[in-house]
């Protein structure tokens, strides 16, 4: 099936005189997670990870993906004829470097749908391969995808200030003030989480992400929201009108500026984020404006949660903690009672969802649950389905990475549970991962440090064993928005990972998730959500640290206590005491007793 699709695509390339055709994992807004309409790379390759770029030429098909998906991609690409390039590994060229080597100074046509490719990537190709011609107006996959799903069209609704803590009119004013600081008169936002945040609106056009397909144009005297107007009810339309926001149809963004007067070279300036605005839209806007590239002001503002959001997040994590404790108790009872019916990975994921749904506050999961038993745990972003689902035995590790969406916030938590006997080696690595998690969450640091400065704390215990993990340690987390958000992250790879040089500010919420993976055998990951807080300030210095938001116990049975320092044991015990104090009032007596015993050393 995949080889047939590639053959059909090559026919389309030949008809359009395209030598190389690029298929990224994206939508019109550079989203990480995308709706079914945009899953062109998955359709053409069979690989369904959330990151990857497919390149097709007359005689080659190559897929690039990152370390989270190496094992999964190897499995899913078998028999397709598609080569896997493991991005970031020594000797593996980037997409643009590969194309430069193939094309060199020869003329060639590189094709892609400019609506799903951001400005920065297209500009990089232009600079690196000046002899190549870009054809950006062809969706060749769309030409062969006969049963392509439709674009989603779900209701768009207002999220009230009791949750957001700030009005949209104030957010718009602050964004525009920062736009003016950049010397610009106008701004277009394409990233969906930024638009939702600025306008205090939410939707459900992307699975598990409460966003809606749209663009936002911001000017001093007016703003325009381009979206599916059929998704706006009368109350939301009035809300937007009161904000001074005009409504236009989704695709009108490409024609809205037609007829705009442009006098010579003296164009007004428009601020664009080159990592999120698509290349086709950029080509339209550059006809009418002088473009200035910078990160969306809203991305930085959104990352720093206000006091209302932080208090709500604390409440959301209590709710989520109750569900997690019930789930861990359920697993513990299964583990210790051989008479209980066998469970599977999907069964575990379904049970956790069942516990989360017990709260009326629950709205959705924040991503597809990773319930990975045994060797599946080494596949960093493994998601069980009916074909891959395996039984969970009473031995080895079960890794469960999950999260939820509440009006009071977004959660993301990973626990690795020993389902029975584990080896001394497994205990050694589990303990190292736990030490990394505790070390990062308890650090005190001077204001101005960024994720690249702090990553060693999470990896240090593993590095002493000459081991590492092939993913970042921490990502920003949205507020009832995307579970992954920027700009900050925790990753040591300076220059390779955007955002790891962004200094932490009080109010930034980030994950803390070191791990260890042994291909074909098991995986370990322990994740809490942490919020940066001010710990100390005087006339000369400010020091920050983290408060842990996540409230669920770690499995202590695989801990090698001889490897734990007294300070680390105290940090762990203090954390478990906090979990008990905050969650136990919402548990029945039996579950409360189980939790008390579970966290006793």
The SS3 call for residue 69 is helix
Quote the tokens at residue 122: 């297209």
Q: Side-chain half-sphere of 344: how many Cα atoms within 13 Å? A: 11
Given this model, what pLDDT does residue 264 score? 63
| Average pLDDT along the chain, 601 residues, taken 10 residues at a time | 93 95 96 95 92 93 90 90 91 91 85 95 90 92 95 97 97 97 97 98 97 97 95 98 97 92 80 96 95 96 98 98 98 96 97 98 97 95 91 98 98 98 97 98 97 96 97 96 95 78 95 97 98 95 97 98 97 98 98 96 69
Given this model, what pLDDT does residue 89 score? 87
Greatest alpha-carbon span in the chain: 81
- C-alpha dihedral (366, 370, 371, 376), degrees to nearest 10: 180
DSSP string for 303-364: HB--HHHHHHHHHHHHHHHHHHHHHHHHHHHHHH-TTSPPEEHHHHHHHHHHHHHTSTTEEE
pTM for this model (two decimals): 0.94
Question: Which tens digit of pLDDT belongs to each residue from 406-447?
Answer: 999 999 999 999 999 999 999 999 999 999 999 999 999 999
Q: Residues, the chain, total?
A: 601
> Fold identical between 2-144 and 157-301?
yes
* CATH top-level class of 304-591: alpha beta
Q: Are 120 and 295 in contact (CB under 8 A)?
A: no
* CATH number, domain 2-144: 3.40.350.10
Given this model, what pLDDT does residue 497 score? 66
Residues in CB range of 81: below 8 A, 6 or more apart: 2, 3, 6, 61
Nearest to 272 by CA among 153, 122, 398: 122
| Residue with tokens 């009032």, as numbered in its chain | 585
Given this model, what pLDDT does residue 134 score? 93
Helices first, then strands: H and E counts in the chain: 18, 30
d(CA 493, CA 496): 5
* CATH top-level class of 157-301: alpha beta
Question: Which tens digit of pLDDT belongs to each residue from 305-354?
Answer: 999 999 999 999 999 999 999 999 999 999 999 999 999 999 999 999 99
* CA distances from residue 496 to 88, 275, 297, 491, 493 in whole angstroms, order as listed: 8, 14, 22, 9, 5
H/E segment holding residue 40: helix 40-45
* CA distances from residue 101 to 78, 112, 132, 576, 593 in whole angstroms, order as listed: 26, 19, 12, 55, 64
* CA distances from residue 381 to 49, 70, 242, 486 in whole angstroms, order as listed: 8, 10, 43, 19
DSSP string for 115-129: GGSBHHHHHHHHHH-
The SS3 call for residue 490 is strand
Given this model, what pLDDT does residue 534 score? 97
Q: Are 406 and 480 in contact (CB under 8 A)?
A: yes
Q: Are 268 and 290 in contact (CB under 8 A)?
A: yes
Verify cis geometry, omega within 30 degrees of 0, for the bond prior to 487. yes
d(CA 478, CA 487): 11
The SS3 call for residue 149 is coil
Range list of H helices, 257-306: 279-288, 297-303
d(CA 267, CA 287): 9
Phi-psi region of 79 (alpha: psi -120 to 50; beta: other; left: phi over 0): left
Given this model, what pLDDT does residue 179 score? 97
* Domain spans, the chain: 2-144, 157-301, 304-591
d(CA 223, CA 219): 6
């Amino acid at each position: 099936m995949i080889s047939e699709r590639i053959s059909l695509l090559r026919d389309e390339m030949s008809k359009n005189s395209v030598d190389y055709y690029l298929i990224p994992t994206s939508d019109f807004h550079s989203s990480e997670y995308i709706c079914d309409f945009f899953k062109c790379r998955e359709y053409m390759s069979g690989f369904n990870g959330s990151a990857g770029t497919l390149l097709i030429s007359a005689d080659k098909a190559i897929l690039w993906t990152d370390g989270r998906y190496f094992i999964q991609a190897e499995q899913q690409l078998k028999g397709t004829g598609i080569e896997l390039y493991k991005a970031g590994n020594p000797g593996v060229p980037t997409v643009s470097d590969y194309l430069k080597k193939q094309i060199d100074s020869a003329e060639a046509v590189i094709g892609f749908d400019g609506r799903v490719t951001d400005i920065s990537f297209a500009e990089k190709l232009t600079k690196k391969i000046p002899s190549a011609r870009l054809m950006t107006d062809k969706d060749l996959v769309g030409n062969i995808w006969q049963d392509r799903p439709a674009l989603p069209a779900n209701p768009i609704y207002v999220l009230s200030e009791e949750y957001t803590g700030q009005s949209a009119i104030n957010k718009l004013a602050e964004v525009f003030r920062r736009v003016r600081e950049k010397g610009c008169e106008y701004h277009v936002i394409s990233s969906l989480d930024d638009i939702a945040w600025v306008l205090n609106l939410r939707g459900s056009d992307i699975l598990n992400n409460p966003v809606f397909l749209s663009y936002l144009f911001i000017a001093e005297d007016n703003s325009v929201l381009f979206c599916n107007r059929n998704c706006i009810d009368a109350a939301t339309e009035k809300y937007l009108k009161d904000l001074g926001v005009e409504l236009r149809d989704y695709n009108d963004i490409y024609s809205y500026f037609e007829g705009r007067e442009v006098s010579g070279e003296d164009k007004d300036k428009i601020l664009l984020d080159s990592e999120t605005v698509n290349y086709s839209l950029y080509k339209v806007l550059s006809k009418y404006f002088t473009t200035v590239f910078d990160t969306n002001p809203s991305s930085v503002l959104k990352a720093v949660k206000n006091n209302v959001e932080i208090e709500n997040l604390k409440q959301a994590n209590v709710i989520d903690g109750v569900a997690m404790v019930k789930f861990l108790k359920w697993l513990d009872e299964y583990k210790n009672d051989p008479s209980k019916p066998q469970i599977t990975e999907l069964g575990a994921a379904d049970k956790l969802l069942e516990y989360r749904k017990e709260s009326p506050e629950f709205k959705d999961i924040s991503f597809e649950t990773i319930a990975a038993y045994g060797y599946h745990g080494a596949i960093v972003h493994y998601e069980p389905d009916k074909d891959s689902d395996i039984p969970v035995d009473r031995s080895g590790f079960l890794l469960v990475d999950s999260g939820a969406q509440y009006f009071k916030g977004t959660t993301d938590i990973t626990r690795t549970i020993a389902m029975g006997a584990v080896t001394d080696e497994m205990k050694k690595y589990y303990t190292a991962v736990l030490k990394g998690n505790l070390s990062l969450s308890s650090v005190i640091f001077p204001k101005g440090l960024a994720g690249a400065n702090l990553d060693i704390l999470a990896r240090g215990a593993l590095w002493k064993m000459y081991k590492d993990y092939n993913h970042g340690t921490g990502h920003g987390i949205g507020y009832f928005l995307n579970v992954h958000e920027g700009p900050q992250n925790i990753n040591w790879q300076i220059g390779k990972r955007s955002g790891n040089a962004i200094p932490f500010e009080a109010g930034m919420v980030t994950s803390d998730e070191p791990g260890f993976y042994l291909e074909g055998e098991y995986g370990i990951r322990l994740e809490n959500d942490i919020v940066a807080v001010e710990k100390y300030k005087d006339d000369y210095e400010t020091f920050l640290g983290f408060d842990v938001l996540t409230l669920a116990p770690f499995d202590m049975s695989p801990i090698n206590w001889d490897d734990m320092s007294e300070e680390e044991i105290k940090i762990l015990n203090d954390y478990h005491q906090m979990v008990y104090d905050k969650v136990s009032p919402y548990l029945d007596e039996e579950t409360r007793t189980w939790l008390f015993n579970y966290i006793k050393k």
